[in-house]
């Protein structure tokens, strides 16, 4: 192929080329043809022009000149946070319900609305059951409780005045009996407690932190039962304190006078208390130190000093707060206080009322919040108590019916493990779980009679759109011990079974003023005994209405 191209090139190179001949050009007009005689070629060689231009050099002469400005002051208004609307208050509240065991409940209260000058109110409540547990010694095992409370407050510029009157009447029947063969009529087992109380208070609220704020209280009550036993008590108290440079200095003083009249004796008892305290706190820690000096004046006079101290430290923003406390106090054991715990108490005499000295209570634990909705508290404590009261069934010598309880006292060391956790999701869900374990080291008695060593509880509430409210309570008490003495004088120990009490309540709020409720108590229908020979009601159902206006 290369040879063919080369031969073709030689062939065309040898061909003669002739210009065209035999034509002419004819021009019309004024144009004159010009033939240049001298034609000169440009012999200068071609040059490439460089497109990169040199940078010019400039010299700047800057003259600084200040720009004149003016400052114009203006007012910054304080930020305002709109307050939440106040919850509407209703002046009158009424509640009524009925249930099995001929149960009837009625509650009524009237209270003042919001006022800058004072407050007042009246509250009345009745709760009764016509019948109770069956197959018991007493023919009537019902009860009836009435309570009336009247109070009033007066707000002054520097003081708040308070006064109140209370009345309660509790009717019950001692329907239990240690000997199962006993049978009692209604009149022989009837018991009632009538309670009258009046109290007043004066409290200062000076705005000046250098001023000494104080509070004075006075309370009197009278208690009487069916068997003509009476008790009168006067409690006078005063508290004062003021802030100093590094903390708060306060002092408490109280006089507790008790006059008990029994069937055969009259006993007077007085407790004097003085407690100075100093407390100090920062963002991280709280500390307090002081002493409680109590004087027990009865058949003999005894002085009891109780050290008071506490310390807590916030390690992580209220999440973990360890704390430790040391305290003690002298506790008044009165006919009123003991009968509130066990209403089947035999009519006491002044000689059977001993005050309990809590010599020391040492507690250490952790508390805090796991989240904005969950809080917790766990601690361990040890206490030494002198003359701690325990309830035992009456002996044949004390009561031939053996259907009541008396009090025995013992010196005891108590160890307690406590845990509690709570969860609240807005106003919709609430849950609280609590557990307590106790260990008793008795001095004279074999066991802590009628005192459980394990207490568990779970409380819950669910609010559905503020229309339906459901509540549930679960309680557990482990087994207890009862001390029984027969007619022959032989003492035996009875191991009582533990109990589980499950209660459920439902409330339907038809309007803001009217609602209906139904409560299911002791759903498991257990016939358990909180006090030996006194079984409780089984399944209990109560329903009713609530009206607010």
Q: Is the dihedral of CA 151, 154, 160, 163 positive or negative?
A: negative
* CA gap 111, 444 in Å, rounded: 51
pLDDT of residue 40: 61
Q: Is residue 279 part of a domain?
A: yes
Q: Is residue 5 part of a domain?
A: no
Q: Is residue 473 part of a domain?
A: yes
Read off the pLDDT of each residue in 512-529 and give the average, rounded to a whole number. Answer: 92
**Is the per-residue pLDDT at 24 higher than 70?**
no
Q: What is the pTM of this model?
A: 0.81
pLDDT digits (tens, 9 = 90+) for 305-327: 999 999 999 998 899 999 999 99
Is the separation of the CB atoms in 244 and 278 below 8 Å? no
Is the separation of the CB atoms in 383 and 364 below 8 Å? no
**Is the per-residue pLDDT at 6 higher than 60?**
no
* CA gap 314, 537 in Å, rounded: 47
Q: Would you give the distance in Å from CA 311 to the centre of its chain?
A: 21
* Number of domains the chain is built from: 1
Highest-confidence segment of 55-64, 142-151, 183-192: 142-151
Q: Is residue 64 part of a domain?
A: no
Q: Is residue 111 part of a domain?
A: yes
User: Could you tell me the CA-to-CA distances from 324 to 120, 285, 333, 362, 439 in Å, in that order?
Assistant: 40, 12, 28, 8, 20
For 11, the enclosing helix (H) or strand (E) is helix 2-13
Q: Is residue 60 part of a domain?
A: no
pLDDT of residue 330: 97
Confidence tier at 266 by pLDDT (50, 70, 90) = confident
Confidence tier at 12 by pLDDT (50, 70, 90) = very low
* CA gap 335, 222 in Å, rounded: 11
Q: Is residue 514 part of a domain?
A: yes
Q: Which domain holds residue 497?
A: 95-548
Read off the pLDDT of each residue in 169-194 and give the average, rounded to a whole number. Answer: 88
Confidence tier at 31 by pLDDT (50, 70, 90) = low
CATH number for 487: 2.40.170.20
Q: Is residue 407 part of a domain?
A: yes
């Amino acid at each position: 192929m290369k040879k063919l191209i080369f031969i073709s090139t030689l062939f065309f190179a040898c061909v003669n080329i002739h210009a065209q001949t035999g034509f002419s050009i004819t021009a019309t007009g004024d144009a004159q043809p010009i033939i240049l005689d001298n034609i000169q070629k440009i012999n200068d060689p071609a040059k490439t022009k460089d497109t990169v231009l040199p940078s010019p050099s400039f010299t700047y002469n800057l003259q600084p000149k200040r720009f004149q400005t003016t400052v114009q002051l203006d007012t910054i208004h304080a930020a305002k946070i709109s307050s939440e609307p106040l919850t509407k208050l209703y002046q009158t509240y009424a509640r009524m319900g009925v249930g099995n065991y001929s149960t009837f409940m009625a509650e009524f209260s009237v209270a003042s609305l919001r006022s800058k000058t004072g407050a007042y109110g009246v509250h009345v409540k009745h709760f009764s059951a016509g019948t109770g547990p069956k197959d018991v010694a007493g023919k009537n095992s019902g009860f009836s409780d009435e309570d009336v409370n009247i109070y009033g407050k007066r707000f002054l510029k520097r003081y708040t005045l308070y006064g109140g009157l209370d009345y309660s009447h509790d009717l019950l029947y001692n329907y239990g009996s240690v000997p199962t063969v006993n049978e009692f009529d209604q009149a022989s087992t009837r018991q009632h407690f009538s309670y009258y109380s009046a109290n007043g208070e004066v409290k200062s609220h000076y705005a000046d932190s250098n001023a000494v704020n104080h509070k004075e209280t006075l309370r009197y009550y009278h208690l009487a039962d069916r068997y003509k036993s009476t008790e009168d008590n006067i409690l006078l108290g005063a508290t004062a304190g003021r802030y100093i440079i590094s903390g708060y200095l306060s002092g408490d003083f109280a006089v507790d006078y008790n006059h008990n009249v029994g069937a055969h004796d009259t006993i007077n008892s007085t407790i004097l208390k003085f407690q100075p305290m100093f407390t100090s706190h920062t963002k991280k820690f709280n500390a307090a130190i002081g002493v409680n000096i109590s004087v027990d004046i009865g058949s003999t006079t005894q002085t009891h000093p109780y050290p008071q101290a506490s310390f807590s430290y916030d390690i992580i923003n209220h999440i973990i707060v360890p704390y430790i406390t040391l305290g003690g106090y002298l506790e008044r054991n009165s006919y009123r206080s003991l009968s509130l715990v066990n209403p089947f108490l035999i009519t006491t005499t002044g000689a059977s009322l001993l005050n309990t000295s809590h010599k020391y209570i040492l507690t250490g634990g952790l508390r805090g919040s796991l989240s904005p909705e969950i809080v917790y508290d766990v601690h361990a404590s040890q206490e030494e108590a002198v003359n701690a009261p325990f309830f035992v069934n009456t002996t044949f010598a004390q009561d031939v019916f053996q259907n009541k309880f008396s009090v025995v006292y013992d010196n005891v060391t108590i160890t307690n493990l406590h845990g509690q956790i709570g969860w609240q999701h807005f106003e919709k869900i609430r849950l609280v779980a609590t557990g307590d374990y106790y260990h008793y080291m008795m001095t004279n008695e074999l066991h802590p009679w009628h005192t459980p060593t394990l207490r568990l509880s779970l409380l819950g509430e669910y609010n559905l759109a503020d229309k339906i409210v459901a509540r549930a309570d679960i309680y557990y008490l482990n087994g207890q011990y009862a001390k029984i003495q027969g007619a022959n004088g032989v003492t035996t120990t009875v191991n009582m079974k533990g109990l589980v009490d499950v209660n459920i309540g439902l409330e339907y709020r038809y309007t803001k003023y009217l609602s209906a409720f139904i409560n299911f108590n002791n759903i498991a229908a257990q016939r358990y005994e909180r006090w030996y020979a006194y079984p409780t009601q089984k399944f209990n159902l109560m329903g009713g209405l609530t009206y607010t206006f």
